[in-house]
Chains A and B, each alone.
Chain A
Amino acid sequence: MGWGVRHVVLGLCAGAIGWPWLVGWVSMAPASVAAEPAAPTAARPAKRSLTFIDHRGRAVNERDFLGSYMLVFFGYTACPDVCPADLAIMSAAMRHLGAAAESVQPVFITFDPDRDTPEVLAGYLRHFHPRLIGLTGTPDQIAAAVHSYGVVFEREEEEGGAEGSGYSLRHTALTYLIGPDGKGVTMFDHGSDPREMADEILAQLEKAALASAAGGTP
């Protein structure tokens, strides 16, 4: 059983668990430069907007989401155990939000852009909250998002052969709440309670509303 013969590291963030808001992942750059041939490992990306292709095949820029809260989960459609569970939790939390759900955009970003084409994502997302948006892209686009959020995805495959079909993997399983300014607000663990997640989001929305009513910025 030759484990670890092939070690595919799609996203191995330098700073273990980087908080997106600490690295300032929302770009100040006026325009995004897509399809830049960045070397994945040497990427020091700078202040460039994250760009994606959504599950309908449209080009998406992270700045398109400014003004709305986002619930972001990274995963991949071939993930059998963890990802469906967390997306179901996210979907349930959206339902618990009631009317406030309108100010929250749920987003699923794939770790596996090679297999998760827009069509594959569209088929997958049908099983979850109707407003869930799926984001894929080129490997570079996904690598930039992975780096920006500080998420990790490692997969070890057992080499081919008669039994070759096992694999082990490791990935971040957090759900991020991003504010209307594009900065991280909080994050939720894998397997969180959907009602608690909704309550926390409502508390954040209320806090922001109070802050803006008081004239300050949230």
Chain B
Amino acid sequence: MRFLALALATILLLAACASADEPDAAKVEVESPWARASAGQTAAGVVYIRLSNRAAEPDRLASLSTPVAEKASVHETKREGDMVSMRPVASLALPANETVALEPGGLHIMLMRLRAPLVEGEVFPMTLGFEKAPSVSIQVEVHALGASH
């Protein structure tokens, strides 16, 4: 009987912990961030990343900041036949329970006016702010200029 009570208490406690984690709370997970090394006097850099909105509500990427560049913003490369075009994305939508991948040849974060070259093997910090989810600070790894992942 004592054992059963203990077991019940444990279950209740676990349940309480789970609800403390608030499944409905806005949360965006950030995975595998990497940047291309910059070359020569290139003033622009690029960061690729995966953003998973773990909430039941849609969210948006609201801000990006990093000490390595004056400005960071999301751009999208699109193919139009033999042409490619790149346009800024004002506010990246993060649908509920979905992962948005920023990968070469598609969505990417542009780092404008780099303050120093991005050197392969180094890491730099970046903070992502969201409309609902708490902001996330990450370390971005710099890969080779010709890397594809």
> Within 8 Å CB of A17, what residues of B?
81-82
- Which chain B residue shows the least CB distance to A163? B71
The answer to whether A209 has its CB under 8 Å from any CB of chain B is no
Report the nearest B residue to A1, measured CB to CB: B90
Q: Is the CB–CB distance between A152 and B88 below 8 Å?
A: no
Min distance, Cβ B145 to any Cβ of chain A, angstroms? 4
Q: Is A82 within 8 A of B84, CB to CB?
A: yes
* Complex CA distance for A1 and B90, rounded to whole angstroms: 10
Q: B144 in the interface, Cβ–Cβ < 8 Å?
A: yes
Contact B40 A120 (CB under 8 A): yes
> In the complex, which residue of chain B has the Cβ closest to the Cβ of A124?
B39
Verify A166–B88 contact, CB threshold 8 A. Answer: yes
B40 CB, nearest partner CB in chain A, Å: 4
Complex: how many Å from CA A205 to CA B41? 37
Residues of chain A from 3 to 55 with CB closer than 8 A to chain B in the complex: 17
Give the number of A-B contacts (CB < 8 Å). Answer: 106
Is B105 a contact partner of A80 (Cβ separation < 8 A)?
A: no
| Nearest B residue (CB) for A84 | B145
- Whether B104 contacts A81 by the Cβ 8 Å rule is yes
Q: Are B112 and A127 in contact (CB under 8 A)?
A: no
Counting CB contacts under 8 A, is B85 at the interface?
A: yes
User: Smallest Cβ distance from B75 to chain A, in angstroms?
Assistant: 7
Asked if B45 and A77 sit within 8 Å, CB to CB, the answer is no
Cβ proximity bits A54-74 to B, threshold 8 Å, 1 near / 0 not: 000000000000000000000
Q: Find A85's partner among B73, B110, B148 (CB 8 Å cutoff).
A: B148
Asked if B44 is at the interface of the complex by the 8 Å CB criterion, the answer is: yes
CB distance from A179 to the nearest CB of B (A): 20
- Asked if A165 and B82 sit within 8 Å, CB to CB, the answer is no
Q: Provide the residues of chain B in CB contact with A100, threshold 8 Å.
A: none
A117 to chain B, nearest CB (A): 9
If A84-B146, A88-B145, A127-B37 are given as contacts, then 16 extra A-B residue pairs at C-beta distance below 8 Å, sorted by A number, are A80-B42, A80-B46, A80-B108, A81-B86, A88-B148, A120-B40, A123-B39, A124-B39, A128-B146, A165-B71, A165-B112, A168-B86, A168-B87, A168-B88, A172-B82, A189-B82
* 11 sampled A-B residue pairs with Cβ under 8 A: A17-B81, A77-B39, A81-B46, A81-B108, A88-B145, A88-B146, A123-B40, A166-B75, A166-B112, A171-B83, A173-B84
